[in-house]
Amino acid sequence: MFKHTLIALATLVPLAASHSAFFHPSMFGFNVTDDTFPFDNRPAVPLKNRTFNDWWFHGHLNFTPNAGDIFELPAGMPATAEIACNKNATSYFATANNGTDARNATNPNDVCPGKNSTAYHTLGKDDLGGCALAIAYNSNATEVAPSDFTVFSVNQTCVFTRFTDFQVPARMPACPPGGCTCAFFWIHTQNSGGNPESESILQ
Ligand SMILES: *[C@@H]1O[C@H](CO)[C@@H](O)[C@H](O)[C@H]1NC(C)=O
Ligand SMILES: *[C@@H]1O[C@H](CO)[C@@H](O)[C@H](O)[C@H]1NC(C)=O
Ligand SMILES: *[C@@H]1O[C@H](CO)[C@@H](O)[C@H](O)[C@H]1NC(C)=O
Ligand SMILES: *[C@@H]1O[C@H](CO)[C@@H](O)[C@H](O)[C@H]1NC(C)=O
Ligand SMILES: *[C@@H]1O[C@H](CO)[C@@H](O)[C@H](O)[C@H]1NC(C)=O
Ligand SMILES: *[C@@H]1O[C@H](CO)[C@@H](O)[C@H](O)[C@H]1NC(C)=O
Ligand SMILES: *[C@@H]1O[C@H](CO)[C@@H](O)[C@H](O)[C@H]1NC(C)=O
Ligand SMILES: *[C@@H]1O[C@H](CO)[C@@H](O)[C@H](O)[C@H]1NC(C)=O
């Protein structure tokens, strides 16, 4: 008998990140660089004022993850997200910026090394909007609509640490064969600039 059900995520979709993103090989657009699109459409680039197609999946719906690259959601346990302002400040730096490791050697939780926290829109731990993970029980991302997503976990002290835990409910139903499709949402406060409504697609 298994104590925990392992829920496999086929895909991870950073929908709302502006100046920070949830990086993982299971995400759409994992290898998108500033050159991939006619405009800079890296995962951390803001989404405000975009058309639906440019906003949905961050415009990365055709930049699918490799088969087998899944983000696991262990039921009843925390799942740890890795959030940074640039891919080169994550564990996946080797596939960004010619392999330069930009992580902060003395502070593994530094979201944006070398930058003020205003780069990820916070003045401190008491100035955070929070993040959410949502799930759609369909492995076929092209079939998923915004209304298919259900938020199942939030972290209110987010974006503040590169490694951020999301508690996965113990009674999360298992995903269909092929996994589920998930979305990452972030809302920040207005204090360090930028309109927080640009990220508020939690409903
Ligand atoms: C979005 O559109 C509004 C209204 O046109 C405008 O005031 C605002 O500057 C735009 N924001 C961005 C980030 O383009
Ligand atoms: C991302 O780039 C790495 C290094 O080139 C490659 O191994 C990996 O398959 C790529 N992933 C996707 C989803 O294209
Ligand atoms: C990667 O290296 C090439 C060749 O040295 C250079 O032209 C390019 O600017 C580098 N790109 C980044 C993002 O550092
Ligand atoms: C990390 O990537 C950002 C954005 O491309 C770049 O500005 C920065 O110089 C890079 N850091 C390092 C240490 O290469
Ligand atoms: C790394 O983190 C430490 C502790 O927060 C900070 O003092 C230092 O300025 C950071 N280094 C860089 C390059 O951001
Ligand atoms: C970061 O920016 C804020 C707002 O401009 C400023 O008040 C603060 O002193 C800066 N912090 C550092 C460490 O430079
Ligand atoms: C995903 O859904 C689309 C639209 O319904 C369909 O055309 C496609 O065949 C499906 N892909 C898979 C792998 O089932
Ligand atoms: C939010 O993430 C932080 C950093 O990983 C963690 O310490 C905290 O327990 C998390 N909060 C919740 C409610 O899971």
Confidence check: pLDDT of 147 > 80 = yes
User: The sheet that has 6-14: what strands, in order across it?
Assistant: 71-74, 6-14, 180-186, 131-136, 150-155
Question: pLDDT value at position 142?
Answer: 93
Q: Tell me: the pLDDT tens digits for 4-16?
A: 333 434 344 444 4
Mean pLDDT across 192-203:
44
User: The sheet that has 78-84: what strands, in order across it?
Assistant: 21-22, 78-84, 163-167
CA angle 138, 10, 76 (to 5 degrees): 90
* Number of domains the chain is built from: 1
d(CA 198, CA 2): 41
The tokens of 192 are what? 């360090």
**Which domain covers residue 133, as residue numbers?**
1-203
Q: How far does residue 102's CA lie from ligand 7's centre (Å)? A: 38
Give the 3-state secondary structure of residue 57: helix
Q: Which of 164, 168, 186 to mutate to test the pocket of ligand 8 (most atoms within 8 A of CB)?
A: 164
- Residue 1 pLDDT level (bands cut at 50, 70, 90): very low
Q: Which of 1-10, 76-85, 171-180, 192-201 has the largest mean confidence?
A: 76-85
Q: Tell me: the pLDDT tens digits for 29-69?
A: 999 999 999 999 999 888 888 899 999 999 999 999 998 89
d(CA 135, CA 109): 26
Question: pLDDT value at position 180?
Answer: 93
Question: pLDDT value at position 14?
Answer: 46
Residue whose token pair is 């100046």: 19
Q: Which helix (H) or strand (E) holds 135?
A: strand 131-136
Q: How many CB atoms lie within 10 A of CB 26?
A: 21
Confidence check: pLDDT of 161 > 80 = yes
* Closest ligand 4 atom number to CA of residue 98: 14
Q: Tell me: the pLDDT tens digits for 95-142?
A: 998 899 999 999 999 999 999 888 888 888 888 888 999 999 999 999
Q: How far does residue 143's CA lie from ligand 7's centre (Å)? A: 7
Confidence check: pLDDT of 3 > 50 = no
pLDDT averaged over the chain? Answer: 84
Q: Whose CA is nearest to atom 1 of ligand 1?
A: 49
Q: Are strands 71-74 and 78-84 parallel, antiparallel or unpaired?
A: unpaired
26 close to ligand 8 (CB < 6 Angstrom): no
Which amino acid, 75?
A: A
197 close to ligand 7 (CB < 6 Angstrom): no
